[in-house]
Amino acid sequence: MTQHSTPEDVKQLVLIRMETLSSHKKISIGSYGEFSKEEIIQHIKDDDEIGKKMIQVEMEFLRALKKGII
């Protein structure tokens, strides 16, 4: 299945936001496995499935803020 490449400005935004993650923690992403912050950042740069998933999580969150998340 062909996936569109993520617009560069979105990718850059998500990359900056992901830099705030702690390097002492790991993330388990369901079907994909466990990753460090550095690995996640690389996946976002590569714009692969895992990277796109992280971008989706991030952008959904940002867009939900306008509806109020609390």
Partner 1 sequence: MGEVAGFRERFLKIYPNLPLKLRSETIVIIDKEPISWNVAYIEVFNNTQKSMKILKKLDELKII
Partner 2 sequence: MILYLATRPEHDDTTYYLSHWCKKTFLTAESHGIKVFDLHREKANREEFEGRMNKFSPNFVVLNGHGDVDKVGGHKNEILVSSGVNEDVLKGKIVYAISCKSANILGKTSVEKGALNYTGYDDDFIFFYEPKNMTKPLTDETAKLFLEHSQLFIESLLKGNSLKASKEKAENKLRENINKILSTESSDSELARFLVWDLNHFISHGDLDTSLGV
List residues near partner 2 by CB under 8 A.
Answer: 17, 20-22, 24-34, 53, 57-58, 60-61, 64, 69-70
Q: What is the DSSP letter of 34?
A: E
Q: Least distance (Å) from partner 2 to the CB of residue 56? A: 9
Encode 40-66: b = buried (16+ Cβ within 10 Å), e = exposed. bbebbeebeebbbbbbeebeeeeeeee
Site string for partner 1, 23-52 (x = CB under 8 A): ------------------------------
Measured from the CB atom, is 34 or 60 closer to partner 1? 60
